[in-house]
Amino acid sequence: MIPWLLAAGQAVLVAAVAPLLIGLMRAMRARLEGRAGGRVGQPWRDLRKQLRKEPVIPADAGAFFTAAPVVLMATSMLVAAAAPYLSTRGPLSGVADLIVVVGLLLLGAVALALAGLDTGTAFGGMGASREMTIAALVEPTLLLAVFALSTRVGSTDLGAIVAAGATRPAEVFTPASALAAAALAIATLAEAGRLPVDNPATHLELTMVHEAMVLEYAGPDLALIEWAAAMRLTILLGLLANLFIPWGVATDLHPGALAVATGVFVVKLAALGCLVAAGEVFAAKLRLFRVPELLAGSFVLSLLAVIASSVLA
C-alpha cells in the first residue's frame, strides 16, 4: 500500500508545486528586471479563475481539440507518479523506464500539436509545425543524455540510475556526465518552451510556439493545458536535479526518509527555477531558424556523452 501511496503523493506534489514554481520564476524574473511582479501564488489564482469559466469550442474543432487537454494532463500525471523524485522504489518502477517516460512526454506534445491543427486556423497550424520541428530534435537528445548515465548503470530504469548515482557516484558520474547534463538542460528549456527557444510571455506571431497552439482554448480546457505545461517543466527540472544531483532521494520507503526527500526535492526545484529565471533575464530569444542549430548542438553533446561513457566504462 505504501508504494502506491507514494506514487499518488508524488503526482499530487508535482501538481501542487508546478504552479508555484511558475510563480516563483515570474517573481524572480520581475525582481531582476526591476519590476514589482506578481505573487508566487498568482498562477494558482489564474487556474482557479479559468476553471470557473465556460469552455469555448470552435465550430470547426473535432475530437483532437477536445481530447488534447485531458491527454496532456494524464501523461503529465503518469510521469509525475512514476519518476523517482522522492524514492527510488515504487509500484511504477517498471514504468519509469527512460524510453517510456520520453514517449509519454512526446505523446502529450503530439496531442497538443494535433489539437492546434484540428482548429483549422493559421496560428494553430503554425504552432503545431514549429512544435513538431522542435520535438523531433529534443526527444532524441533527452534519450541520449540520460542514456549516457544508463550505460554506466546497465539499466534504462530511472529509479536504478538515481539509486546508483546516490550510492555509487564515482562509478556513475564521469567527465562525460557534464556533457550529458548540458544537453539535458538545453533539451529541458526547449521541451518546456522557455527562452531562448520560446518565450512563454509573448503572443507575437513571429515568435510564439506553444501559445499559438492554445489560442483557441478557454475556460477549464485552457486551465488544464497551462497546468500540464507547468507540470512538464517541473517534471523535467526534477529529472535533471535527481539524475545529476541524486543526493537526498530516499532509497527506501521509511516515512522519515520520504519527508526529508520531499523537502530536498522542493529546494532543488526552487533553486533550478530561480537559475532558469535569472538566465532568461540575460538571454534573448533565438530566431526560429537558429533554434535547430542550438538543438542540434545539444544532440551532439549528448551523443559525445554516450560515446565517452562507453569508452570510459
More confident residue, 16 or 5: 16
- 126-168: pLDDT as tens digits: 899 999 999 999 999 999 999 999 998 989 999 999 999 999 9
pTM metric for this prediction: 0.95
175 contact partners, CB below 8 Å, separation of at least 6 = 308, 312
- 94-131: pLDDT as tens digits: 667 899 999 999 999 999 999 999 988 888 898 999 99
Would you kindly state where each structural domain of the chain is located, as residue ranges?
2-312
Q: Is the pLDDT of residue 206 over 80?
A: no
Compute the distance between CA of residue 78 and CA of residue 10 in angstroms, rounded to an integer. 10
Phi/psi zone of residue 34: left (φ > 0), alpha (ψ -120 to 50 degrees), beta? left
List the end-to-end C-alpha distance of the chain, in Å, as a whole number: 38
The pLDDT of residue 108 is 96
pLDDT band for position 56 (cuts 50, 70, 90): confident
Q: How far is CA 113 from CA 91, 99, 131, 312, in A?
A: 31, 21, 7, 40
Helix, strand, coil in percent for the chain, rounding step 5: 75, 0, 25
Among residues 25, 51, 40, the alpha carbon closest in space to that of 227 is found at 51
The pLDDT of residue 113 is 95
The pLDDT of residue 175 is 86
Q: Which amino acid is at 186?
A: I
Q: Is the pLDDT of residue 182 over 90?
A: yes
Taking every pair of Cα atoms in the chain, the longest distance, rounded to a whole number of angstroms, is: 59
- 243-289: pLDDT as tens digits: 999 999 998 888 899 999 999 999 999 999 999 999 999 988 888 88
pLDDT band for position 311 (cuts 50, 70, 90): confident
Cβ–Cβ under 8 Å, residues 32 and 56: no
Question: Which of the 8 DSSP states describes residue 121?
Answer: -
Cβ–Cβ under 8 Å, residues 277 and 300: no
Q: Is the pLDDT of residue 2 over 70?
A: yes
Average pLDDT, the chain: 91
Q: Is the pLDDT of residue 230 over 70?
A: yes
Of the chain, the percentage scoring pLDDT greater than 90 comes to 71
The pLDDT of residue 102 is 94
The pLDDT of residue 204 is 65
The Cβ of residue 251 has, within 10 Å, a number of other Cβ atoms equal to: 17
Q: Is the pLDDT of residue 58 over 90?
A: no
Q: How far is CA 239 from CA 51, 60, 91, in A?
A: 29, 38, 18
